[in-house]
């Protein structure tokens, strides 16, 4: 298996239509909801990434029958809490923070302790944020000092609905409590700082009772628990976060254009398109439709020479939380000084992304001013790299890897990026699509 990728600027213009892999957040949710529905659900175009394979393995360990044939996944649920709990099982979530946090919500009634483990990067992440509300609902936990993984969860047959203040803007925490509320009698109330709302849309699509009162910064969510729901047939749209790498690649290349088909265009996911358009991109949406309570459509992007600085409004942060790294590259090429603030959550991802993002820009010769939660990027519209850049020790973070590949392709220089396999946790076709655009690279 390849360890390193070598990028030497070798990019010709391209004009293509492409289809990006299925959405990661929606694929994981479809599996989890399928595991709790009554009967056989079918998920088409499921993402075939490591995070999904690990999610499927864990659900199988909980007694759920799942068949995967190509991108078609069939899942046999036996209703809410229809898991077959066994003694002494452990679940390995691999690199997936989303699966790890969401599954805990569904384990709220496990009669035996279940151990949750993950890879090195996931083990370092904060599970205290989800242990706290789930304890209030009725679960008991054993955890280490840092409240990372491994941890042990023991459920209870006496679970209570809670009023939960989710104040980090974390869709994972919000969704975990939403899933646990399927098991609780009475009404759960979640006051959630805005974040991606795929779980809410699944509730609506599946007819599970939910009410949402929206105001500027907070969504107040009311859920009535213990209502079984029917199986479903869902086609996963393309992942807008994976699209972002190719949108920026096109934007920063010469005389190129790209159409990205059937992309999830949920407003809580495409904050980066708003920001890019404010910076001077002319990204367009076509064929907009609604499916499964979600917006879906095609994205059109063209190369853009004159890009402007941005003062990124923090209220959009949770709508572009996975796209900051790739946006930093655009800021590096934009005219003027860009500012991104209130980024506390960014250092808590698969790697400390704010710090690593700044480090990569500095290696590229771009000046930054970094604080614990903000970055100023001094853009240079003539940015060209001529030196050797080695990217290593990045906690195998898929988004750091893909951002570095795009940087090498658009700014030049001789790049060696280690831990090539990392992109497979979210976007397995990444390198194949690069090749199909006629771009050359070497693996070894
Ligand atoms: C996700 C939520 C976000 C995001 C992650 C996927 C989800 O994490 O960064 O990639 O599917 O709910 P947080 O909830 O920790 O912000």
Q: Along the 444 residues of the chain, how does pLDDT read in single tens digits?
A: 679 999 997 788 999 999 999 999 999 999 999 999 999 999 999 999 999 999 999 999 999 999 999 999 999 999 999 999 999 999 999 999 999 999 999 999 999 999 999 999 999 999 999 999 999 999 999 999 999 999 999 999 999 999 999 999 999 999 999 999 999 999 999 999 999 999 999 999 999 999 999 998 899 999 999 999 999 999 999 999 999 999 999 999 999 999 999 999 999 999 999 999 999 999 999 999 999 999 999 999 999 999 999 999 999 999 999 999 999 999 999 999 999 999 999 999 999 999 999 999 999 999 999 999 999 999 999 999 999 999 999 999 999 999 999 999 999 999 999 999 999 999 999 999 999 999 999 999
Q: Is the peptide bond before 320 cis (omega within 30 degrees of 0)?
A: no
d(C-alpha 250, C-alpha 231), whole Å: 40
Atom of ligand 1 nearest to the CA of 199: 12
| Residue 106 sits in the same domain as residue 200 | yes
For ligand 1, atom 10, the nearest C-alpha belongs to 322
Compute CA distances 424 → 71, 305, 314, 324, 418, whole Å: 15, 31, 30, 20, 14
172 vs 197: CA distance, rounded Å? 10
Quickly count: other Cβ atoms within 10 Å of residue 334's Cβ. Answer: 23
Last residue of a domain, one of 180, 207, 230: 230
Q: Are 43 and 49 in contact (CB under 8 A)?
A: no
Cα Rg, the chain, nearest whole Å: 21
Q: Are residues 403 and 334 both part of a single domain?
A: yes
Q: Are 159 and 287 found together in one domain?
A: no
Question: In this structure, what token pair is assigned to residue 150?
Answer: 């491994």
328 and 211 assigned to the same domain: no
Q: Which residues contact 4 (CB under 8 A, 6 or more apart)?
A: 416, 417, 418, 420, 443, 444
Tell me: do 57 and 192 sit in the same domain.
Answer: yes
**Spatial separation of the C-alpha atoms in residues 23 and 119, rounded to whole Å:** 22
Q: Which atom of ligand 1 is nearest the CA belonging to 173?
A: 14
Using a 6 Å cutoff on CB, does residue 317 contact ligand 1?
no
**CB 431 near ligand 1, within 6 Å:** no
Same domain, 378 and 313: yes
User: Would you say the CB of residue 196 lies under 6 angstroms from ligand 1?
Assistant: yes
From residue 33, how far is each of 82, 115, 116, 208, 224 by CA, in Å?
11, 21, 20, 11, 16
Measured between alpha carbons, how far is 304 from 255 in angstroms, rounded to an integer? 8
Catalytic residue at 344?
no
Burial-class residue 355 by CB neighbours within 10 Å (0-12, 13-18, 19+). middle
Q: Which two tokens stand for residue 12?
A: 């010709």
Q: Which of these, 56, 27, 32, lies nearest to 44 by C-alpha position?
A: 27
What's the 97 CA to ligand 1 centre distance in angstroms?
7
Edge-to-edge strands, sheet with 388-391:
388-391, 414-418, 4-8, 442-443
Query: Three-class SS of residue 151?
Result: strand
Is there a single domain that holds both residue 226 and residue 261? no
Number of residues assigned to the chain:
444
The count of domains in the chain is 2
Residues 66 and 44 both lie in one domain:
yes
Question: Rounded CA gap, 230 and 225, in Å?
Answer: 15
Spatial contact of 355 and 374, defined as CB atoms under 8 Å apart: no
Ligand 1 within 6 A of 25 CB?
Answer: yes
Cβ contact 251:281 at 8 Å:
yes
- Which helix (DSSP H) or strand (DSSP E) does residue 16 occupy? strand 15-18
Residue to mutate, 167, 195, 219, 397, ligand 1, most ligand atoms under 8 Å from C-beta: 195
Q: Do 219 and 89 share a structural domain? A: yes
* 222 and 358 assigned to the same domain: no
CA distance 6 to 20: 23
Domain containing residue 408: 4-20+237-443
| Structure-token match 């500012």, residue found | 339
**CA 35/CA 29 separation, integer angstroms:** 10
DSSP state for residue 230 in the 8-state scheme: B
CA of 123 to the centre of ligand 1 (A): 16
Q: Tell me, what CATH number does 351's domain have?
A: 3.65.10.10
Q: For residue 9, what pLDDT is reported?
A: 74
Looking up tokens 């079984």 gives: 228
Dist. CA 358–CA 387, nearest whole Å: 18
Domain boundary among 230, 255, 288: 230
Closest residue CA from atom 5 of ligand 1: 98
Q: Choose which residue among 99, 192, 196, 272 to substitute to test ligand 1 binding: the one with the highest number of ligand atoms within 8 A of its C-beta.
A: 196
How many helices (H) and strands (E) the chain has is answered by 13, 24
Question: Can you tell me which atom of ligand 1 is nearest the CA of 175?
Answer: 12
Active site residue: 23, 50, 322, 397, which one? 322
Residue nearest to atom 3 of ligand 1 (CA): 171
Query: Do residue 218 and residue 255 come from a single domain?
Result: no
- Whether residues 191 and 323 fall in one domain: no
Domain stops at, among 179, 197, 230: 230
């Amino acid at each position: 298996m390849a360890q390193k990728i070598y990028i030497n600027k070798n990019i010709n213009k391209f004009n293509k239509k492409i289809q990006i892999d299925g959405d990661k957040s929606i694929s994981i949710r479809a599996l989890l909801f399928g595991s709790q529905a009554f009967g056989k659900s079918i998920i088409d175009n499921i993402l075939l990434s490591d995070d999904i394979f690990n999610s499927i393995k864990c659900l199988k360990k909980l007694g759920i029958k799942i068949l995967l044939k190509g991108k078609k996944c069939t899942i046999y649920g036996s209703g809410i809490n229809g898991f077959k709990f066994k003694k002494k099982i452990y679940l390995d979530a691999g690199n997936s923070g989303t699966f790890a946090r969401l599954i805990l919500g569904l384990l709220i009634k496990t009669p035996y302790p279940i151990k949750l483990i993950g890879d090195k990067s996931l083990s370092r992440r904060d599970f205290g944020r989800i242990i706290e509300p789930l304890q209030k609902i009725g679960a008991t936990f054993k955890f280490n000092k840092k409240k990372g993984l491994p941890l042990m969860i023991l459920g209870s047959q006496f679970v209570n609905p809670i009023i939960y203040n989710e104040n980090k803007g974390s869709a994972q925490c919000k969704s975990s409590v939403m899933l646990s509320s399927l098991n609780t009698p009475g009404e759960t109330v979640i006051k959630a700082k805005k974040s991606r709302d795929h779980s809410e849309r699944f509730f609506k699509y599946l007819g599970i009772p939910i009410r949402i009162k929206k105001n500027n910064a907070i969504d107040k969510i009311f859920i009535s628990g213990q209502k079984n729901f029917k199986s479903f047939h869902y086609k996963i749209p393309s992942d807008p976060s994976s699209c972002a790498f190719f949108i920026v690649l096109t934007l920063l290349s010469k005389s190129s254009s790209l159409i990205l088909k059937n992309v999830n265009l949920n407003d809580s996911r495409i904050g980066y398109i708003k920001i890019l358009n404010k910076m001077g991109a002319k990204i367009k949406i076509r064929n907009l439709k609604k499916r499964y309570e979600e917006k879906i459509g095609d994205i059109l992007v063209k190369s853009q020479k004159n890009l402007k600085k941005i003062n990124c409004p923090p209220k959009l942060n949770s709508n572009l939380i996975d796209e900051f790294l790739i946006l930093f590259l655009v800021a590096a090429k934009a005219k003027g000084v860009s500012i991104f603030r209130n980024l506390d959550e960014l250092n808590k991802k698969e790697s400390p992304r704010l710090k690593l993002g700044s480090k990569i820009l500095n290696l590229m010769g771009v000046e930054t001013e970094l604080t614990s939660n903000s970055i100023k990027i001094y853009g240079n519209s003539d940015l060209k790299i001529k030196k050797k850049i080695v990217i290593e020790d990045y906690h195998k973070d898929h988004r750091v890897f893909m951002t570095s590949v795009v940087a090498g392709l658009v700014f030049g220089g001789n790049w060696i990026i280690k831990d090539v396999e990392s992109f497979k946790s979210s976007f397995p076709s990444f390198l194949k699509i690069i090749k199909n655009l006629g771009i050359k690279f070497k693996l070894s």
